[in-house]
Amino acid sequence: MGRAVRGTALAQLALLAGVLTGCSEPAGDDDAKPSASTSGAASAEGKDTAAGTGEAAKSGGSVGAAGSSCPLPVTFDTAEEWRPEAVETGTPGDGGGSEEDQLAAELAEGLLRQGPFTAACEIDAKPAGNIGFIRVWTGEKGAEAGDAEALLKEFVAAEGETSEAKYSEFTSDSDVRGTEVEYLYTSEALYETKKERAFVAVTPDGPVVVHLGGLDTQEHEQMLPAYELAKRTLSTT
């Protein structure tokens, strides 16, 4: 494989990785950026507030229903100004494309899968003032409710260097039960450890993971109200 081919393919991978990590933009002056949560009014019981902040996310719409930006096995509310977009996935080419395209497709395929889950939707916080995403990942049918924690552990393990994972159960306002995890992730590329969290719910159409990362821990904590809003309003389709 020629050096030029590898270079171009890796450049394409870098662009894709930027989309999937939320790190494609410089953080800039983080203290000057408005939080995605500050535009929201408190919910009836304050359930969407980030721990210790007293801030809450106001609903700006929902995703998951047929015809929405991201048809999913679940629906939930998205925070005001957050922008959802479906993630298109596919399999590497059958050999009909160029060597460069084949390599890029194979590398991209790896980024779009984490353990037994495939990326399905990204909800972008940048329009609301933060650098990060809520991402939705879907799995194959056949899982049972009792498999939730084991599936979430597979998801976390597949991310890479993680630690201090704490698992707990939750129930949404629509009585959807699931398992949540809070943990630390250390990026080999950035040499930085940051907080992340995710929850999983098992549906008849397969398990669904909703994950909140962020550029760093500060961004993560500022985006927590949007994540809590998604968890509280979670419903099966």
What integer pLDDT is reported at residue 90 of this predicted model? Answer: 61
Q: Please, are residues 23 and 194 in contact by the beta-carbon 8 Å criterion?
A: no
Q: How far is residue 90 from each of residues 73, 96, 123, measured CA to CA in Å? A: 19, 15, 20
pTM (two decimals): 0.76
Report domain extents, the chain: 29-89+113-236
Bridge partners of 99, per DSSP, are none
209: tokens are 């993971």
pLDDT digits (tens, 9 = 90+) for 127-137: 999 999 999 99
Question: Tell me, what's the pLDDT at 184?
Answer: 97
Confidence of residue 104 (pLDDT cuts 50, 70, 90): low
pLDDT higher than threshold 90 for residue 61: yes
Q: Residue 18: which H helix or E strand, with range?
A: helix 3-21
Q: Could you tell me the pLDDT band of residue 21, with boundaries at 50, 70 and 90?
A: very low
CA distance 123 to 63: 9
Between 36 and 186, the higher pLDDT residue: 186
Would the pLDDT of 9 be above 60? Answer: no
Specify the higher pLDDT residue, 186 or 89.
Answer: 186
Give residue-wise pLDDT tens across range 63-82.
999 999 999 999 999 999 99
Q: What is the pLDDT of residues 191-209, one digit of tens each?
A: 899 999 999 999 999 999 9
> So what's the pLDDT on residue 188?
81
Read off the pLDDT of each residue in 36-57 and give the average, rounded to a whole number.
47
- From residue 113, alpha-carbon distances to 116, 117, 136 in Å are 7, 6, 11
User: Residue 177, Cβ neighbours under 10 Å: how many?
Assistant: 13
Mean pLDDT, the chain, rounded, equals 79
Given a cut of 70, whether residue 123 has pLDDT beyond it is yes
**What is the CATH T-level fold of the domain 29-89+113-236, as seen in this structure?**
Protein Transport Mog1p; Chain A (3.40.1000)
